[in-house]
Structure 1
Amino acid sequence: MTPLRLAVIIGSTREGRTGDRIGRWFVDRARRHDELAVTVVDLADHDFLASCPSEPTPAVRSFVARVGLAEAFVVVTPEYNHSFPGSLKQAIDHAYDEWQAKPVGFVSYGCGSIGLHAVEQLRTVFTALHAVTMRDTVGVDLLDGEPSPPAADRLERDADVLLDQLRWWGLTLRDGRATRPYVS
């Protein structure tokens, strides 16, 4: 069977961000699953601010193409002011059909809330785009410092549960799109 194409999107572009480190940890975990072909889409590599809707930049076109090729997504997001970053919203909005009938999972981080406020708002956005969001998430509490047992064990179990859900939904939706194209 052809591996499921999973794109891990690192959603923060801030200087000194934590998302790239958390994203690398998750990607390393995901690459242990042979049935997944994992790529990283780091929003810091795309210049969304320079783009307008009528003239997207080459970086934006590249982002949209990468979203289109992926069959499942994991969004690594911080929680800023009980929401997700504007850079992530801008990126999401540059694609539309490319998200449809594909599963989306979340790895979030924050202080105390582990980023769950951001995840709940992202669920609403992705539902509007006809994507399927996963119930289970991976949440990292930045107040804990570097995860150590048992927190590290919990994060690894949570990551494996999320990856199993994404694989099932991703393969099921891939078969469904092949059998009957999705119409929104």
Structure 2
Amino acid sequence: MSNEPLRLAVIISSVRDGRFGPVVGKWIAERAKGREDLTVDVIDLKDHDLPAALSYSPSPEAAEILGQVSPRLEAADAYIVVTPEYNHSFPASIKQLIDWNYSQWRAKPVGFVSYGGLSGGLRAVEQLRPVFAELHAVTVRDAVSFHMAWEQFNEDGRPKDETGPAGAAKVLLDQLAWWGNALREARAKNPYQA
């Protein structure tokens, strides 16, 4: 078993103007960075204009963009998707990232931090679970969810009441660490075949 910290990619999926995702993404990334068993790479999809159309041979521009993102996904041992809920579902930007990358997700755990109105983004999470299952990824059971998120954070980007979110984040990160270590060891012993 490796004592090397797991490489965790925190993916901020919203790309809309005025989005709240960076506040939530920064918060969970800071929680993860506070652990000795994780190293964190924040991937903000707003910084990567992924092409909308899929093809087996991407254009040179699309290949360049994918060349910036895909290796970071490949290097990760685990993922956290920070997602809002748009119209009872997840943003198109995370689906583009998922669809452009296939093998990178295999036999790795995925956790979720969601935010939104009354549902806190949970409908987006529940729709992402079968998408990741199709890619042979393992979604962890527990998630962090911020209901009426913009009311839950102060001007400094921290939850007004840290107790509940901090506990939920610890559970999520503990599950990701367990699955991440177990799956990394399994991949090292026997490469996963999809």
Same fold per superposition (TM over 0.5): yes
Number of the residue aligned with 1:129: 135
Task: Give deviations 1:122-149, integer Å, cap 9, x for gaps.
Answer: 0010000000001000001126612323
Report if aligned partners of 1:7, 1:73 keep a CA contact under 8 Å in 2: yes
Change (3 A) 1:50 1:105: closer
Q: Match of 1:135, SS?
A: coil
Deviation, structure 1 residue 60: 1.7
In structure 1, how many angstroms separate the alpha carbons of the residues matched to 2:150 and 2:33?
25
Change (3 A) 1:73 1:35: same
Report if aligned partners of 2:20, 2:150 keep a CA contact under 8 Å in 1: no
Report if aligned partners of 1:105, 1:166 keep a CA contact under 8 Å in 2: yes
Unaligned runs of 5+ in 1: none
Deviation, structure 1 residue 65: 1.1
Task: Give deviations 1:45-91, integer Å, cap 9, x for gaps.
Answer: 11113665222331122211111010000000000000000011011
In structure 2, how many angstroms separate the alpha carbons of the residues matched to 1:143 and 1:170?
28
Task: Give deviations 1:132-169, integer Å, cap 9, x for gaps.
Answer: 001000001126612323xx210010001000000000
In structure 2, how many angstroms separate the alpha carbons of the residues matched to 1:52 and 1:127?
20
Number of the residue aligned with 2:173: 163
Give yes or no for the alignment of 1:177 onto 2:187.
yes
Number of the residue aligned with 1:48: 50
Number of the residue aligned with 2:37: 35
Decide which of 11, 22, 25 is 1:23's aligned counterpart. Answer: 25
Number of the residue aligned with 1:142: 148
Task: Give deviations 1:82-130, integer Å, cap 9, x for gaps.
Answer: 0000011011111101100000000000101010100001001000000
In structure 1, how many angstroms separate the alpha carbons of the residues matched to 2:52 and 2:130?
26
In structure 2, how many angstroms separate the alpha carbons of the residues matched to 1:119 and 1:52?
23
Change (3 A) 1:153 1:82: same
Report if aligned partners of 1:47, 1:60 keep a CA contact under 8 Å in 2: no
Decide which of 99, 104, 110 is 2:110's aligned counterpart. Answer: 104
Report if aligned partners of 2:102, 2:135 keep a CA contact under 8 Å in 1: yes
Q: TM-score, normalised by structure 2?
A: 0.90
Number of the residue aligned with 2:87: 81
Stretches of 4+ aligned residues off by more than 4 angstroms: none
Report if aligned partners of 1:50, 1:57 keep a CA contact under 8 Å in 2: no
Report if aligned partners of 1:112, 1:143 keep a CA contact under 8 Å in 2: no
Report if aligned partners of 2:108, 2:138 keep a CA contact under 8 Å in 1: yes
Report if aligned partners of 1:11, 1:87 keep a CA contact under 8 Å in 2: yes
| Aligned CA-pair RMSD | 1.3
